[in-house]
Structure 1
Amino acid sequence: MPQPSTHAQTARDLLTLVGGPGNVTSVAHCISRLRLGLADPGLLEVPRIAEHPAVLGVVQGDTFQIILGPAAVGPVADAFEELVREAGPTARGQALREANRRRNATPAKLLLRRIAEVFVPLIPALIACGVIAGLGGLLNSLYLSTHWQALSGVVPVTTALSQGFMSLIAVFAGYNAAKVFGGTAVLGGAVAGIVVYPGVVNVTHTLFGHLKPGQGGVLGALGAAVLCAAVERWARRHVPEALQMLLVPTLAVAVSGLAALMVLMPLAGVVADGIGHGATWLLARAGVGAGIVLAGTFASLVMLGLHQALIPIHATLIGQQGFSVLYPILAMAGGGQAGAAVAVYLRARNNPSLRRVIRSALPTCVLGVAEPVIYGVTLPLVRPFITAGIGAAIGGSLVGLCAQLGLTTGSTAIGPSGLVLLPLLNGSHGIGPAVLIYTTGWLASALSSCALTYAFGFTPSMLADLNSPERDHGPSQPPL
């Protein structure tokens, strides 16, 4: 992993290998990936990018994704964006960017991209508050069992630290949503603030009766902020320039705010309640089946980038119940990938290059970032990717079975997985049982995936090819 002093050099290297600043149409990043929009993908030097010492893997799709790991991706992305900004736009680059934007502007692609842009920036705060909430839960349990008075004042402090952000998450979501959908961010935050304002209990003349603070949660705030951005854009086109400073923000907040109070909050409340009741019902009635399907297919969703669509669901569950009951099941996918990687390591005894890749990627996978294993090991070999999914399904079925028996396990934050998720767990019977259930499921995923991959993950010809003397460069690149 590169040290901070080398992040700028990594950014410069990658900028050259993706075709220079004129070929870059957008720069973004999530927890582990640098996501680039490119005007001309033909200018990419994919093999050289994949071989760069700071790069853990690459994925090609609507955006070109370079997996750098959670420690490096933020600084490298900042340096990369600064280099692109300093280079300035070119006429050819602007034309290509517009063509690329139109090509990728399908409704589904735009929706997923915008959902990610709204919620991914909130993940660090969710993680921090989740860890503090977990610590507060442990201290509270210790206080209740020992009645140690020194802890009596600590618990309210940890509660305030962890719940301050969570009580206003709708405002932050609205702020980001307005910015993403072409409006003024602070206006989106203003209308989203209506959702959490305690005084909404006094609003009785709505189409759906009384309101309560927080009704609809992030979904209501998201709808209000998107509408606010739309009204603002309309107003800027139609209001005389001399009156825009006064009327545009007023119209945007008034129209979208009234819509939030009268329609959006009640409707979003129905949807949010449906998500909460639906997840609870699903795990209570069909926990085993749900665990098999969700855990077994999640790596494929990650590979396709479709997992971003689940972020609002997790955020809604965390806002309603304090934790997402779906997230720990999905995290079993990482255990499956880790187990499969171990089996490949054992089977590829005479392939030092592939074993080096696994040694560097496996710790990252155990700590919650599975993409290096997926793109560098299991997906190129195909069969281990499948057996990893089966192993993950086994672990997911165990977590789902416990939920079906009334022992629900949930995550108080989203983003981390693997063993890093342990301090973020909670459940219907507290932190202790949740940690035990999750750890058991994760280990079951890893062990069963390792056994299945070792036994069924290779054909004789695959093993011969992997271990042949002239084949020491690892598996071929995944189909991109």
Structure 2
Amino acid sequence: MSTEATPRATAAAILPLVGGAANVVSVAHCLTRLRLGLRDRTRVREDALRALPAVLGVVDDDTYQIVLGPGAVARITPEFEALVAAAPTAADTLESRGARLRATRRERNATPFKLLLRRVANIFVPLIPALIGCGVIAGLNGLLVNLGLLASLTPALTAVASGFMALIAVFVGLNTAKEFGGTPVLGGAVAAIVVYAGVAKVTVFGTTLAPGQGGVLGALAAALLATRVEKWCRGRVPDALDVLLTPTVTVLVAGLVTVYGLMYAAGEVSAAIGTGADWLLGHTGAFAGLVLGGLFLPLVMLGLHQALIPIHTTLIEQQGYTVLLPILAMAGAGQVGAALAVYVRLRHDHSLRTTIRSALPAGLLGVGEPLIYGVSLPLGRPFVTACAGGAAGGAFVGFFSMVGDTVGSTAIGPSGWALFPLLSGNRSLTLTAAVYAGGLLTGYLVGFAATYFFGLGSVERPAGAPADPAADTAPDTAAAPR
């Protein structure tokens, strides 16, 4: 019989360790993390939380983030929400008011740039499952077309894979309005203008608009403007007329500005992103890959990598694939190589080796948080050497982009081995896959070598790790001193 805790049991174990239901003000999740808004973070018992078998790590950021891993977080979050909803409502005591004041002060101390990035991430993170699903179907459909198989089915697969991307602007508008405090359907209504076929009859600055011009950036700007207009109206329109005038003014004003300004401006920005990405990889591919691959793990650690989703999505809309994701995926390869080196060097640390064995499959599929929070980050130096492996793999893929062999992904979300079904580029699929595989291999090897020779010179057992008698008594000349 399996001893693994059920999602409800895990949720029930987490809830008291974050201060109970009365301390929870919001619950959400992304691909790997349970994201909680807490009234008072001093009530979190973090050591006990980290000790739970299901918890891979925690991040104390604008929300309190508990890393549970892909799949698990989607099963645990509804159970956690149900437990919070079923709990009695806490009284609004002096202590709770003080907690809210402390939370407000924490928000004020956050930099505007960090807050902006996180809010953009909150808009796009809920879209990732659909992006992944449609991307995989698009990759499968492309393979069938190239092989000349199931010709009667491929048009249907094209419709299934492309429908979401054709209307992604609407979903961006809904989420933008929700994130910034507006009415979601009004944000979606204004953003829908971006993809409406009728805009082809509108001329702006001497050019005719094209449906989809500006893409997700135009939709984001349109919904943000709609939210501002709506809030302006709410404070001025009499209550009796609010239900009629506020939606009308919001859609009319924001819609006209979108048609006669935002679509054109966002289209220029989107075009610049595509041109800039092509120039960067075409002229400085190896160096650009080195920098991007080397810096991506710190972005993942901070949760800021989600802010890149609008750029990826814009490139997919323009070119059919994003050239940045395969390079950024090399960071995961460096992480895997570093973890393997730790596994080999510290062969008597059975606790750490068990962690690596459990986290490595996810790492190979591009989910880096378990290895980051369970292995490299607690050890310190291996995190840096893992970044070196990612930089080397990124430089490899970037070099081939510089010589004309572009490697891209038709969707965002997966990386590592899971990215192979989504690969696309300007050459044959075989060559594209070979370049990507070469980058992974480079990342593995450099991450392993850098960690083996330079990453474990003075490593100590991670804080909070259980003592391992075998690690302390068995001789091991290869292992680092404790």
Alignment of 1:196-215 (within 5 A): 196-204=195-203, 206-207=204-205, 209-215=207-213
Distance change in 2, residues 1:95/1:322 (3 Å): farther
1:39-78: per-residue Cα shift (whole Å, max 9, x none)?
A: 2222211121111111122222333221111111012122
| TM-score (normalizing by structure 1) | 0.92
Alignment of 1:313-324 (within 5 A): 313-324=311-322
Corresponding residue number in structure 2 for 1:100: 103
Instruction: Indicate whether 1:112 and 2:117 are aligned.
Output: yes
Q: Residues of 2 paired with 1:224 and 1:3: CA distance?
A: 50
Distance change in 2, residues 1:219/1:417 (3 Å): same
Alignment of 1:21-420 (within 5 A): 21-87=21-87, 88-92=89-93, 93=96, 96-97=99-100, 99-105=102-108, 106=110, 107-143=112-148, 151-204=150-203, 206-207=204-205, 209-420=207-418
Q: Residues of 2 paired with 1:8 and 1:468: CA distance?
A: 31
Contact 1:339 1:448 in 2 (8 A): yes
Contact 1:34 1:73 in 2 (8 A): yes
Contact 1:391 1:445 in 2 (8 A): yes
Give the CA deviation at 1:297. Answer: 0.8
Q: Residues of 1 paired with 2:470 and 2:357: CA distance?
A: 21
Contact 2:40 2:102 in 1 (8 A): no
> Helix, strand or coil for the counterpart of 2:430?
helix
How well do the aligned residues superpose, as a CA RMSD in angstroms? Answer: 2.2
Contact 2:118 2:307 in 1 (8 A): no
Give the residue type in structure 1 aligned to 2:144. L
Q: Residues of 2 paired with 1:317 and 1:412: CA distance?
A: 9
Structure 2 unaligned spans of 5+: 473-482
> Helix, strand or coil for the counterpart of 1:238?
coil
> Helix, strand or coil for the counterpart of 1:136?
helix
Give the CA deviation at 1:240. Answer: 1.3
1:265-319: per-residue Cα shift (whole Å, max 9, x none)?
A: 1110111001000001000000000000000110011112221221111111111
Q: Residues of 2 paired with 1:330 and 1:83: CA distance?
A: 38
1:430-462: per-residue Cα shift (whole Å, max 9, x none)?
A: 433322221221121012211221111121675
1:177-203: per-residue Cα shift (whole Å, max 9, x none)?
A: 111111111111111111011111111
Give the residue type in structure 2 aligned to 1:37. G
Structure 1 unaligned spans of 5+: 473-480
How many residue pairs match? The answer is: 463
Contact 1:208 1:266 in 2 (8 A): no
Q: Residues of 2 paired with 1:410 and 1:90: CA distance?
A: 53
**Identity, % of aligned positions:** 55
Give the residue type in structure 2 aligned to 1:175. L
1:232-285: per-residue Cα shift (whole Å, max 9, x none)?
A: 111122111111111111111001000101111111011100100000100000
Give the residue type in structure 1 aligned to 2:27. V
Q: Residues of 2 paired with 1:392 and 1:461: CA distance?
A: 21
> Helix, strand or coil for the counterpart of 1:91?
coil
Corresponding residue number in structure 1 for 2:479: none
Give the CA deviation at 1:209. Answer: 3.5
Distance change in 2, residues 1:352/1:385 (3 Å): same
> Helix, strand or coil for the counterpart of 1:459?
coil
Q: Residues of 1 paired with 2:25 and 2:287: CA distance?
A: 42
Distance change in 2, residues 1:470/1:270 (3 Å): same
| TM-score (normalizing by structure 2) | 0.91
1:65-93: per-residue Cα shift (whole Å, max 9, x none)?
A: 21111111012122222322333353144
Deviates more, 1:366-375 or 1:79-88: 79-88
Q: Residues of 1 paired with 2:337 and 2:54: CA distance?
A: 24
Q: Residues of 1 paired with 2:452 and 2:402: CA distance?
A: 31
Distance change in 2, residues 1:320/1:359 (3 Å): same
Give the CA deviation at 1:112. Answer: 2.2
Contact 1:334 1:369 in 2 (8 A): yes
Corresponding residue number in structure 2 for 1:476: none
Deviates more, 1:103-112 or 1:388-397: 103-112
Give the CA deviation at 1:4. Answer: 10
Q: Residues of 2 paired with 1:10 and 1:97: CA distance?
A: 27
Contact 1:208 1:263 in 2 (8 A): no
Q: Residues of 1 paired with 2:210 and 2:122: CA distance?
A: 28
Deviates more, 1:41-50 or 1:402-411: 41-50
Aligned match for 1:448, one of 443, 446, 449: 446
